[in-house]
Structure 1
């Protein structure tokens, strides 16, 4: 029963994130992290976000296995795969016109709450967050520094594909996501006691 609850929660988290990212994509906006990098590459290459997001995360699975254990890695792989499929589905099935400010706020909030659900069930959407945790454990580089540097680089890259208005709305989405994660994220029990679940 507990396992069923955990996997249902992961599905729900992925649905929220997929919807949030779809709102942002539909309005030509970006978000932080690996998803933001996927959005930028999508604009530059014409490839779908779902495919790019899945491919971008492949190199990080080894780091996740080393730093966070098998259970976390498998759940993260499942979450990334599901999000990629949902993103593809939403892109072809949901067509909407939404004001960029509303897209930024709703997209940022939905993505943030989806991530919180995943974090609380020992999963993530991989990518730069895994790299940040790995560098912290391996080289004692605080995870927030890695995340900050990565987000700044993504923001700089965003100048290649966004005008100043879209960039400002994307920053609003960044802030909404960060606000949700900052206020609601609680480290899982295994992190609180300094142990990684490797079962």
Structure 2
């Protein structure tokens, strides 16, 4: 009997490994998937709090697909007296985009995005609807803070919230250009519909929420902010080795630098890091050369190839 079940198990594994979905799941297990799952959960939780605790009571509309789902649900209730759950509309709008993403963007991206969308839909559906205040401005501020924090944590953990992210990536893959105008068009449409249907004051509150959310996202998600470090050192080999090993960043070497005070020969090293890597960079410099002089410029613009770390 044991031999029979062992044989059956082996046959099942062999068949499963031929399946594309199984191979994707197996490869995901080798990555830092725990961080991505945590990013999905945090985004789902905070976005549901933003919608159910602040946006809905204040009649404020979110950005992206979440905002579109709010609009569809509100229109159905206002004009057709139908109670259409926001979570259901949100999920329905994302499903066709996820199908396209599976074939056009990548399997791992789609699976993690599907997990994020699922968590967000579940939390929005089952999170209780709590009215903390009827003041639309207070709801706008705190809703924007919650949503922006959730988006920031998702981006920090390499997780996409779906919706307009998928559309932007598809167009960028096709044209090679950044497509910030996509989210701008979607968000402008949301504000326009909200203003025409429910009153322009709510559209204006929604714009404020969008601004606060984007600022909060920038505070949390620092990976896209790039910094240039100029290092003046007497031990360039040690510094370069540790930067390569720990940060996987390239280094430009300028030899023959001379200090004006004691005319000591130095080497200047230039490297570009992200703000998220800055703590590791400081640790590296303490280990490699405590006496090195380091100057760091914040938010530098890059022309050329710069690889984002995972």
* Offset from partner CA, 1:123-166 (integer Å, 9 cap, x none): 22211121012111112342212221222222222223321222
Match of 1:69 in 2: 106
Does 1:168 find its partner at 2:198?
A: no
- Return 145-154 or 111-120, whichever deviates more: 145-154
Match of 2:49 in 1: 19
Q: Distance in 1 between matches of 2:34 and 2:162?
A: 22
Q: Distance in 2 between matches of 1:175 and 1:194?
A: 26
The aligned length equals 193
TM-score between the two structures when normalised by the length of structure 1 = 0.85
- What is the RMSD computed on CA atoms of the aligned residues? 2.6
Output aligned runs, 1:1-199, within 5 Å: 2-22=32-52, 23-46=54-77, 47-90=84-127, 93-98=128-133, 99-185=135-221, 186-187=223-224, 193=307
Q: Which has the larger share of helix?
A: 1
The structure, 1 or 2, with the larger RCO (C-alpha pairs under 8 Å, 6+ apart) is 1
TM-score between the two structures when normalised by the length of structure 2 = 0.57
- Return 104-113 or 21-30, whichever deviates more: 21-30
* Offset from partner CA, 1:99-145 (integer Å, 9 cap, x none): 21111111111101101111122222211121012111112342212
Q: Distance in 2 between matches of 1:172 and 1:63?
A: 32
Q: Distance in 1 between matches of 2:157 and 2:218?
A: 17
3-state SS of paired residue (1:95): coil
Cα drift, residue 172 of structure 1: 1.0
Q: Which has the larger radius of gyration?
A: 2
- Return 32-41 or 132-141, whichever deviates more: 132-141
* Offset from partner CA, 1:24-43 (integer Å, 9 cap, x none): 01221101111111110010
Which 5+ residue runs of structure 2 have no aligned equivalent?
Answer: 1-30, 78-83, 225-273, 277-305
8 Å Cα contact 2:64/2:187 also seen in 1: yes
* Offset from partner CA, 1:78-111 (integer Å, 9 cap, x none): 1111111111112xx2322412111111111110
Q: Distance in 1 between matches of 2:140 and 2:181?
A: 25
Q: Distance in 2 between matches of 1:149 and 1:107?
A: 21
Q: Distance in 2 between matches of 1:178 and 1:151?
A: 12
Q: Distance in 1 between matches of 2:131 and 2:121?
A: 20
Which 5+ residue runs of structure 1 have no aligned equivalent?
Answer: none
